[in-house]
Amino acid sequence: MSTATSAQVRDQLGHPVIDADGHVLEMFPAIYPFLREELGPDRFDVYLKQGPPARLAVPKRRAAENLRDRTPQGAWWGAACENTLDRATFMFPALLCERMGELGIDFSVLYTTHGLSTCSVPDTDLRLGTVRAFNRYYAEVYGPYREQLTVAAMIPMHTPDEAIAELRHSHELGLKVASFPEGVLRPIEAGPSQHPQLWPGQAHWYDTFGLDSAYDYDPVWATARELGYAPTFHGALGIRPSHTPSPTSYVCNHVGMFAGLVAPVCKSLFMGGVTRRFPDLPFAFLECGVSWAMQMLNDFVEHWEKRNLDALSILDPSRLDVPALTDYFDRYGAAVRDRLEGDFADAVTSMAIDDGKAEGHDEWEHLDVRSAQDIVDRFSPSFYFGCEADDRGVATAFPPFPPCDARLNAIFSSDMGHWDVSDVSTVLAEAHELVSEGLVSSDDFRRFTFENPARLYLAANPAFFEGTAVEKSTAALKSAGAGVS
């Protein structure tokens, strides 16, 4: 354990620290005026009666009650209480700005807490009105502190049109970061399914905006690029069913939760060719770590090597030499021969493992790749991954772990405001243990805490840091062309 304070660590680094994912703690009565204006009196009453989606997702029930209807156990006791200073810090931006030197953080991007799950509200007017109200609140309350922090707007994604409208609204409000849900729950067009790989009678599926989406979301990404937004995905802005199965243990539900929430979006965007069509647009996945992404990239490379169209030819059932296999059967198949019903050749040519051939189907067609390096080049420059201070998996973002000597874009994320930060003044010092323990180099720590988060936003908006505390420090990155490619 390091004895240096976060402020001392920051002084020794010689570069700024940009926090890519902290949290605000909103007080609902302060948001009520915005909600009332956006929703109107009738829907505002509905909102008050139902309660915020974040509270609905954490019902105050005993575990025995949850067991009866399998309601997942949510995040009870989710923020600092004994540490009153920290509690106030996350509630009041003026205090957070006053403490930034102590925290060793030069600039912070903050995300919602009580707005989580808002983008999953099924009622269109209620969803859109609530999102607009929260975004207006963030712009008004946090806007005066733009030198040191900014709050991410929430962008609903049930349709491309509603996403585009809120992107433009958020841009008019002066909000510089756009936060998207991890998916949208949709009804299965053909009705409840009986397929064995779906739940019995399953009536819905989860749309993750890329491969096999119900809509073409390219206009959303084009609008984000036009307005200077790097799309960021923060798990729990939507609600993904069956992802947190324990009715009794929040810890069981929370371990690996955010990686599990955003990994499908990452795969969907990648395999859907979004990073090929928008090579200059960065995408970030927050509060999830990076080790899963390193493994995913390795898996993509290995799958491409074995399942590109040329490689698949060796698996073509038409190439099976049945007479040669029959000869092996005659010589070595005595244990099977006595039990085999029917002709061996007929049995071989009807084996279930050879079924389901998709004639001429290229599963890489959206990517236009020809090599393992092409896979890496479609993945690693475009994606950024939020990692918290205690995450030793940050080391897997750097060689030798990713294929082709790639570096993945791990970005420092404090998660301040939530229960896992018991003392916000120690976060940077804890993260720096990655260096003192020899897990990452000083250069890679600079990438993690400064260059990668700066490049994420500069790639989408070269003016992002103008007027901020890190304007001069990021100017060199901007002049060097802090793009994705």
User: Would you state the pLDDT for residue 63?
Assistant: 77
**Residue type for position 341:** E
Q: Note the pLDDT tens digit of each residue in 166-210.
A: 999 999 999 999 999 999 999 999 999 889 999 899 999 999 999
In sign, the C-alpha dihedral spanning 449, 452, 455, 456 is negative
Helix (H) / strand (E) containing 126: helix 124-142
Walk me through the domains of the chain, giving residue ranges and CATH numbers.
6-306+374-479 (3.20.20.140), 312-354 (no CATH)
77-81, 285-289, 385-389, 435-439: lowest mean pLDDT where?
Answer: 77-81
Helix (H) / strand (E) containing 232: strand 231-234
7-21, 334-348, 397-411: lowest mean pLDDT where?
Answer: 334-348
> Angle at the Cα of 56 (from 246 to 286), degrees rounded to 5?
70
Q: Looking at residues 278-305, what average pLDDT do you find?
A: 97
57-61, 259-263, 355-359, 476-480: lowest mean pLDDT where?
Answer: 57-61
User: Would you state the pLDDT for residue 239?
Assistant: 84
Q: Looking at residues 368-389, what average pLDDT do you find?
A: 96
Higher pLDDT, 69 or 387: 387
CB 408 within 8 A of CB 294: yes
CA–CA separation, 272 and 186 (whole Å): 19
Helix (H) / strand (E) containing 31: helix 28-50
> Angle at the Cα of 390 (from 388 to 395), degrees rounded to 5?
80
> Has residue 485 got a pLDDT over 50?
no
Q: Note the pLDDT tens digit of each residue in 241-253.
A: 888 788 888 889 8
How many C-beta neighbours within 10 Å does residue 322 have?
Answer: 14
72-81, 150-159, 447-456, 476-485: lowest mean pLDDT where?
Answer: 476-485
Alpha carbon 477 to its chain centroid, in Å, reads: 25
User: Would you state the pLDDT for residue 70?
Assistant: 85
CA neighbor of 466 nearest in space, from 176, 179, 223: 176
CA neighbor of 16 nearest in space, from 479, 476, 418, 480: 476
Average pLDDT, the chain: 93
> Has residue 481 got a pLDDT over 70?
no
CB 127 within 8 A of CB 47: no
User: Would you state the pLDDT for residue 64?
Assistant: 80
> Has residue 439 got a pLDDT over 90?
yes
24-38, 232-246, 313-327, 329-343: lowest mean pLDDT where?
Answer: 232-246
> Has residue 359 got a pLDDT over 70?
no
CA–CA separation, 482 and 485 (whole Å): 9
User: Would you state the pLDDT for residue 254?
Assistant: 87
Q: Note the pLDDT tens digit of each residue in 57-87.
A: 555 567 788 888 888 888 778 888 899 999 9
CA–CA separation, 461 and 227 (whole Å): 8
User: Would you state the pLDDT for residue 455?
Assistant: 97
List, in sequence order, every beta strand (DSSP E) within 112-176: 149-154
CA neighbor of 153 nearest in space, from 134, 140, 172: 134
Global pTM? 0.94
In the block, residue with structure tokens 């991954």: 385
> Has residue 305 got a pLDDT over 50?
yes
> Has residue 56 got a pLDDT over 60?
no
Buried b (16+ CB within 10 A) or exposed e, 334-368: eeeeeeeeeebeeeeeeeeeeeeeeeeeeebebbe
CA–CA separation, 308 and 300 (whole Å): 11
User: Would you state the pLDDT for residue 173?
Assistant: 98
> Has residue 103 got a pLDDT over 90?
yes
CA–CA separation, 270 and 382 (whole Å): 9
Q: Which long-range CB contacts under 8 A does 470-473 form with residues at least 24 apart? A: 470/16, 470/18, 470/106, 470/107, 473/15, 473/16, 473/106
Give the helix ranges, DSSP H, for 338-439.
344-349, 372-379, 427-431, 433-436
> Has residue 482 got a pLDDT over 70?
no
Higher pLDDT, 64 or 97: 97
Higher pLDDT, 404 or 49: 404
User: Would you state the pLDDT for residue 163?
Assistant: 98
